[in-house]
Amino acid sequence: MNDEESCSQAESYWKANVWLLIKLLAVWGFVSFGCSIILVDYLDQFSFFGFKLGFWFSQQGAILVFICLIFLYTKRMNTLDRKFTSRESKRDSEEQF
Amino acid sequence: MTTQTLTFLFIGSSFALYIAIAIWSRAGSTRDFYVAGEGVNPIANGMATAADWMSAASFISMAGIIAFLGRDGSVYLLGWTGGYVLLALLLAPYLRKFGRYTVPDFIGERYYSRTARLVAVLCLIFVSFTYVAGQMRGVGIVFSRFLEVEVTTGVIIGMAIVFMYAVLGGMKGITYTQVAQYCVLIFAYLVPAIFISLMVTNNPVPQLGFGSELNDGSNVSVLQKLDSVLTDLGFSPYTEGQKSTVDVLAITAALMFGTAGLPHVLVRFFTVPKVSDARLSAGYALVFIAILYTTAPAVAAFARLNFVDTIHETPYENAPSWFSQWESIGLVAWKDKNNDGVMQYGAGHALEPQRPKFSDERGPSGQRLLENSPSVSNNEIYIDRDIIVLANPEIAGLPSWVIALVAAGGVAAALSTAAGLLLVISSAVSHDLLKKTFMPKINDRQELFCARIAAAIAVFVAGLFGIYPPAFVAQVVAFAFGLAAASIFPALFLGIFVKSITREGAVTGMLAGLLFTFFYIVFFKFIEPSQNIPANWIFGISPEGIGTIGMILNITATITVSRFTPKPPKNVGKIIKELRLPPS
């Protein structure tokens, strides 16, 4: 296998990984620090299932979003893992023949 | 059957179950003992993590704290769940990929330094022991109230059970008992919550129930009623915050980053077979945790409302029996300030000093008399927040088997967390201190033996904490998070994501974060408690939230020192490079 190529492969895998983390953590920060704390009084003017919206975010909504974020991450990473490992093994097998 | 017989029955049969599991899953090697042979199914690991995580504090205290803080109590809900996102995204998969036994293992090898490993062991033991002590108080409360045995007996029984499965089974025994304990505790938490939600609102889902309208035909929702009732009594409205936004932000962040840095939770992700399983099981863990954490605020709101309803303006003679039962162990008290024989509840502390000191005499209505002088407020009721969840089924008048179930759930929550913490302590001693530092020549069997001895000693010390609780335990548990956030989290995170961090940087950072946070807390909580007011805090951040500043300090120090010290050696670069590869 070409060393340089595998190096850039690893780098683009890592970059894709970090980029995904940044996106997910931005949502995480917005929902927890944003909706549940900084914007809470503003959101409280809206009503949601009988709750003030800001209050609901801080005691229910944020937790539900956190769960979605982890499962989304798991799914995206599995796709990413498959994409990069299959590329690698494909190249490996090509080299063998 | 009486509540007490039922409680004996429930707790007894759950103990029998835990012991059976312990015997079935004995550990045969250090790999079994430390990481359950890396063969735990991700869903089972999710449940075990949830039980490990949800301590007596989550089960017993959290709803009580929220009931009395209202919206400000959200910091605990947000902090203790949001941390799992950090854990799943930033730490768990990489630590699993690294594939060793303990958290100090990672820090020691990544920072190519025995000192770094020892500093990590120090942080770990400090954090874990403060935490364990809190669990034992939980066991003590349950035993003394529901079984009416001495706290000492309760703690000894609890420790004997933990000893059985932690010392015999190590991580393997703990994992499968924790799965069972999760089932017990979540069932015990949900049943009364569903009952109460149905009784108050006709809605069987507590998460929706506490936003629904009351079923008394008044057309007001639970939260609206609570806001108006509390305002009438002189409290601030339940759904509005009192703490400053900066402080709320800091506390939430400290709890989140602290959660991600807690060693007994991190080590659970070493036990699954693959990296992808580590990510997945963090997701499952949060689902299992969220079932309790989304129910807790509902329980809190119902409990506060029911409490005011049943106690305020009720003559003591007509008070429900739970009131006098909790009064007899000193967790509620009534001081009849206006001598009318009727209990008045309201804002402000009832007593001076705040904690009740009972005399041996009884008052005209039959209440226990207090030595405390009355405070200026009109409030006559002292209530310990820790009893809310345990007393809730009684306050709502639920059948006695529900009350017994809650008692068994509380014990399950306390024991599962205690066992997880004790294991982390014992593996830090046998693996990091002995095998990797002071006695590198011991073989696997000797190391396993040392691990068992260390676990036994840790169980013993934790038991002593339970029997002779240091007065500051309850306050300190929350600070374990601040310390973990300021010391362990940054070392792990930077170790994975920034290649150029050196051992000098990491050690300076950990010590700076730990010491700063430690002394800030000790100063305001123990040396000068009277100075503990917002005007004196750095940036207006309370000791509960100071871990956030400690963390920023740690990161700054680590990066700065790393710039001026020799680069990490080549093999460390290789370790990091491998962590970042796709799992094969």
Q: What is the pLDDT of residue B37?
A: 66
Q: Is the dihedral of CA B555, B560, B565, B570 positive or negative?
A: positive
Residue A2 has pLDDT above 60, yes or no: no
Q: A50 vs B28, B44, B118, B420, CA distance in Å?
A: 55, 36, 52, 40
The whole-number average pLDDT for the span B375-381 is 82
Pairs of CB atoms within 8 A across A/B: 121
Please tell me if residue B237 touches chain A, with a CB cutoff of 8 Å: no
Please tell me if residue B581 touches chain A, with a CB cutoff of 8 Å: yes
Pairing of strands B314-315, B351-352: unpaired
Residue A78 amino acid letter: N
| CB-CB contact of B422 with B132 (8 Å) | yes
Q: Which chain A residues are closer than 8 Å to B213 by Cβ?
A: 50
Residue B349 has pLDDT above 70, yes or no: yes
Facing B286 at nearest CB: one of A24, A49, A67: A67
| CB-CB contact of B416 with B177 (8 Å) | yes
Same domain, B290 and B355: no
Cβ contact, residue pair B74, A36, below 8 Å: yes
Cβ contact, residue pair A21, B89, below 8 Å: yes
Q: B317 vs A36, B303, B307, B312, B391, CA distance in Å?
A: 44, 22, 17, 13, 19
Whether residue B62 is contained in a domain is answered as: yes
Cβ contact, residue pair B89, A55, below 8 Å: no
- For residue A78, what is the nearest residue in chain B, using CA coordinates? B276
Range of the domain at B387: 312-394
The whole-number average pLDDT for the span A54-75 is 91
Question: pLDDT for B314-323, tens place per residue?
Answer: 888 888 888 8
Same domain, B245 and B289: yes
Residue B460 has pLDDT above 70, yes or no: yes
Whether residue B135 is contained in a domain is answered as: yes
How far is Cα B421 from Cα B157, in angstroms, rounded to an integer?
18
Reported confidence tier of residue B534, pLDDT bands at 50, 70, 90: confident
| Beta carbons within 8 Å of B96's beta carbon, 6+ residues apart | B269, B270, B272, B274, B275, B277, B278
- Of all residues in chain A, the percent with pLDDT exceeding 90 is 29
Residue at which a domain ends, from B362, B394, B426: B394
Please tell me if residue A68 touches chain B, with a CB cutoff of 8 Å: no
Cβ contact, residue pair A36, B78, below 8 Å: yes
Of residues A27 and B211, more confidently modeled: A27
Residue A72 has pLDDT above 90, yes or no: yes
Q: Which residue, among B84, B95, B87, B92, has the nearest Cα to B576 in the 3D structure?
A: B95
* Host H or E run for residue B402: helix B400-427
Q: What is the pLDDT of residue B68?
A: 86
Q: What is the pLDDT of residue B416?
A: 82
Of residues B494 and B363, more confidently modeled: B494
Residue A96 has pLDDT above 50, yes or no: no
Q: What is the pLDDT of residue B231?
A: 80
Domain boundaries defined on chain A: 3-96
| Beta carbons within 8 Å of B46's beta carbon, 6+ residues apart | B280, B281, B282, B283, B284, B285, B287, B288
Count the neighbouring beta carbons within 10 Å of the beta carbon of residue A18: 12
Whether residue B141 is contained in a domain is answered as: yes
Residue A26 has pLDDT above 70, yes or no: yes
Please tell me if residue B236 touches chain A, with a CB cutoff of 8 Å: no
Reported confidence tier of residue B475, pLDDT bands at 50, 70, 90: low
Whether residue B531 is contained in a domain is answered as: no
How far is Cα B528 from Cα B320, in angstroms, rounded to an integer?
40
Same domain, B321 and B298: no
- Of all residues in chain A, the percent with pLDDT exceeding 70 is 80
Cβ contact, residue pair B211, A13, below 8 Å: no
Facing A60 at nearest CB: one of B207, B213, B280: B207
Residue B575 has pLDDT above 90, yes or no: no
- Under the phi-then-psi rule, with left for phi > 0, alpha for psi from -120 to 50, and beta for the rest, what region is B231? alpha
Cβ contact, residue pair A52, B223, below 8 Å: yes
How far is Cα B274 from Cα B39, in angstroms, rounded to an integer?
9
Please tell me if residue A86 touches chain B, with a CB cutoff of 8 Å: no
Question: pLDDT for B507-517, tens place per residue?
Answer: 999 999 988 99
How far is Cα B25 from Cα B159, in angstroms, rounded to an integer?
19
Question: pLDDT for B411-432, tens place per residue?
Answer: 888 888 888 888 888 888 777 7
Instruction: Say how many Å lie between the first and final Cα of chain A, rounded.
Output: 12
Residue B300 has pLDDT above 70, yes or no: yes
Angle between helices B114-142 and B503-522 (to 10 degrees): 30
Chain B: nearest CA to A97, how far in angstroms? 22
Residue B440 has pLDDT above 70, yes or no: yes
Of residues B491 and B30, more confidently modeled: B491
Q: The domain spanning residue B191 has which CATH number?
A: 1.20.1730.10
The whole-number average pLDDT for the span B230-237 is 80
**Secondary structure letter of residue B36 according to DSSP:** G
Residue at which a domain ends, from B416, B442, B470: B470
**Paired residues of B343 in beta bridges:** B314
Same domain, B286 and B372: no
Cβ contact, residue pair A55, B90, below 8 Å: no
Cβ contact, residue pair B85, A10, below 8 Å: no
Q: What is the pLDDT of residue A95?
A: 46
The whole-number average pLDDT for the span B250-258 is 91
Number of domains in chain B: 2
Q: Which chain B residues are closer than 8 Å to A58 by Cβ?
A: 71, 74, 77-78
> Which position has the token pair 């770094």?
B116
Whether residue B199 is contained in a domain is answered as: yes
How far is Cα B382 from Cα B202, in angstroms, rounded to an integer?
31
Cβ contact, residue pair B71, A40, below 8 Å: yes
Q: What is the pLDDT of residue B256?
A: 92
Same domain, B359 and B435: no
Residue at which a domain ends, from B377, B394, B411: B394
Query: CA B294: distance to chain centroid?
Result: 16
Reported confidence tier of residue B401, pLDDT bands at 50, 70, 90: confident
Cβ contact, residue pair A50, B249, below 8 Å: no
Facing B245 at nearest CB: one of A10, A37, A67: A37
Please tell me if residue B571 touches chain A, with a CB cutoff of 8 Å: no
Chain B: nearest CA to A37, how far in angstroms? 7
How far is Cα B321 from Cα B458, in angstroms, rounded to an integer?
39
How far is Cα B166 from Cα B422, in angstroms, rounded to an integer?
8
How far is Cα A40 from Cα A33, in angstroms, rounded to an integer?
9
| CB-CB contact of B84 with B293 (8 Å) | no
Whether residue B266 is contained in a domain is answered as: yes
Residue B489 has pLDDT above 80, yes or no: yes
Q: Which chain A residues are closer than 8 Å to B252 by Cβ?
A: 32-33, 37
The whole-number average pLDDT for the span B524-540 is 77
Same domain, B222 and B162: yes
Q: What is the pLDDT of residue A29?
A: 92
Segment of B67-76, B323-332, B391-400 carrying the highest mean pLDDT? B67-76
Reported confidence tier of residue A97, pLDDT bands at 50, 70, 90: very low
Residue A70 has pLDDT above 90, yes or no: yes
Q: Which of B14-18, B195-199, B379-383, B385-389 has the lowest mean pLDDT?
A: B385-389
User: Which ipTM score applies to this complex?
Assistant: 0.87
How far is Cα B467 from Cα B118, in angstroms, rounded to an integer?
30
How far is Cα B206 from Cα B334, in angstroms, rounded to an integer?
31
Same domain, B184 and B40: yes
Cβ contact, residue pair A60, B282, below 8 Å: no
Q: What is the pLDDT of residue B27?
A: 66
- Of all residues in chain B, the percent with pLDDT exceeding 70 is 96
- For residue A15, what is the nearest residue in chain B, using CA coordinates? B580
Same domain, B185 and B284: yes
Please tell me if residue B212 touches chain A, with a CB cutoff of 8 Å: yes
Question: pLDDT for B98-142, tens place per residue?
Answer: 877 788 888 888 888 888 888 888 888 888 877 777 777 677 777
Same domain, B214 and B320: no
The whole-number average pLDDT for the span B170-174 is 77
| CB-CB contact of B298 with B210 (8 Å) | yes
Q: To the nearest whole number, what is the mean pLDDT of chain B?
A: 83
